[in-house]
């Protein structure tokens, strides 16, 4: 989905449920309809309780008062029974099995991964929902973020590299929501003209992004050096490989413990996305018992 289309009033509510997608990616068999721009017309309308659609200059629904990368309590969960399978959530329709499952970096937790980009408008509008998901997780689960670099013409690779640099420098959690605001609210690092919705002819540079992170005590020169480092370049390559292996072709996409993939359209709306994530997390926690 092109960000330049999000200001069309009649389509805005529908497009917010569609993922920003890679123009060169082919959706995997059985993937959610929101994985491509062509699915926007068929995506379900937001539930009444979903954040209200707005123009790109408006402030999204206030996020829950939790850090972007929610802290979790290191604890061994008590044994719990698997959630009842009422038939509400259907594999292959609401969520999709990842074959083979991808390993997570924390076997002690059920990991909820959001594949996202700061340059993706759908991710910006989804962020308050992601904060609610993070706040709702049990102690044996946690949220992680995996930046995608799908669209070079809209500066996705620069923001992908910037996220890993911020993570390496220890400021990713504190700056996560503020970075979204810098791109889509204040326009400090905007890729679009926030009035017309048209793509800018010049994208934010790593040096400009480094200026944003200076407010968190990071010297711009240090940020740029970290962003261009071998370590960050390695993480970018691994992220691209992992995203491809998980069958993700659009953002925002959620992956539960490296095993299941879903998005807002496949779940049926914002509230349903929260409920489906909770259901899958509980099921994984119960199945793995004290190992999780």
Strands 110-116 and 141-147: parallel
CA nearest 183: which of 62, 56, 68, 70?
A: 56
| Model pLDDT for residues 114-138, shown as the tens digit of each residue | 999 999 999 999 999 999 999 999 9
- Mean pLDDT, all residues of the chain: 80
Q: Where are the beta strands (DSSP E) in the chain?
A: 20-21, 96-97, 110-116, 141-147, 250-251, 253-256, 260-262
| Positions in the chain short of pLDDT 70 | 1-19, 22-86, 290-292
Is residue 20 within 8 A of residue 267, CB to CB? The reply is: no
The correct answer on CATH 3.20.20.10 for the domain covering 3-291 is no
Residues 6 or more apart whose Cβ sits within 8 Å of residue 146: 113, 114, 115, 116, 239, 242, 243, 255
> Which tens digit of pLDDT belongs to each residue from 58-93?
333 333 333 333 333 333 344 444 455 567 899 999
Q: Look-up: residue for tokens 């997608």?
A: 21
166 and 96 Cβ atoms separated by less than 8 Å: no
pLDDT for 27 equals 52
- Specify the DSSP class assigned to residue 227: H
pLDDT tens digits, one per residue of 86-103: 678 999 999 999 999 999
Q: Could you give phi then psi for residue 110, rounded to 5 degrees?
A: -85, 115
Percent of the chain with pLDDT over 70: 70
pTM of the predicted structure, to 2 decimals: 0.76
* Both structure tokens of 75: 């604890």
Residue spans of the domains in the chain: they are: 3-291
């Amino acid at each position: 989905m092109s960000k330049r289309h999000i200001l069309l009033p009649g389509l805005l509510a529908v497009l917010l449920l569609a993922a920003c997608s890679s123009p060169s990616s082919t959706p995997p068999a059985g993937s959610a309809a929101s994985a491509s721009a062509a699915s926007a017309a068929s995506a379900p309308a937001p539930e009444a309780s979903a954040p209200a659609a707005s123009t790109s200059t408006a402030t999204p629904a206030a996020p829950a008062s939790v850090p972007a990368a929610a802290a979790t309590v290191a604890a061994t969960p008590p044994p719990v029974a698997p959630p009842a399978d009422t038939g509400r959530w259907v594999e292959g329709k609401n969520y999709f099995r990842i074959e083979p499952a991808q390993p997570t970096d924390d076997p002690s937790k059920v990991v909820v991964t959001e594949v996202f980009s700061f340059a993706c408008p759908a991710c910006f509008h989804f962020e308050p929902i992601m904060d609610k998901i993070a706040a709702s997780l049990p102690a044996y689960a946690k949220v992680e973020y995996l930046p995608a670099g799908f669209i070079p013409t809209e500066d996705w690779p620069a923001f992908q590299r910037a996220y890993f640099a911020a993570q390496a420098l220890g400021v990713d959690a504190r700056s996560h929501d503020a970075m979204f605001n810098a791109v889509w609210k204040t326009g400090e690092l905007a890729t679009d003209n926030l009035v017309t919705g048209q793509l800018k002819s010049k994208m934010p540079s790593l040096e400009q992004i480094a200026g944003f992170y200076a407010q968190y005590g990071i010297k711009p020169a240090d940020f740029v050096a970290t962003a261009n480092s071998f370590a960050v370049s390695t993480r970018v390559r691994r992220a691209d490989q992992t995203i491809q292996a998980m069958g993700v072709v659009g953002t925002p996409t959620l992956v539960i413990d490296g095993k299941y993939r879903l998005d807002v359209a496949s779940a049926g709306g914002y509230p349903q996305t929260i409920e489906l994530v909770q259901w899958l997390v509980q099921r994984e926690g119960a199945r793995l018992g004290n190992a999780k």
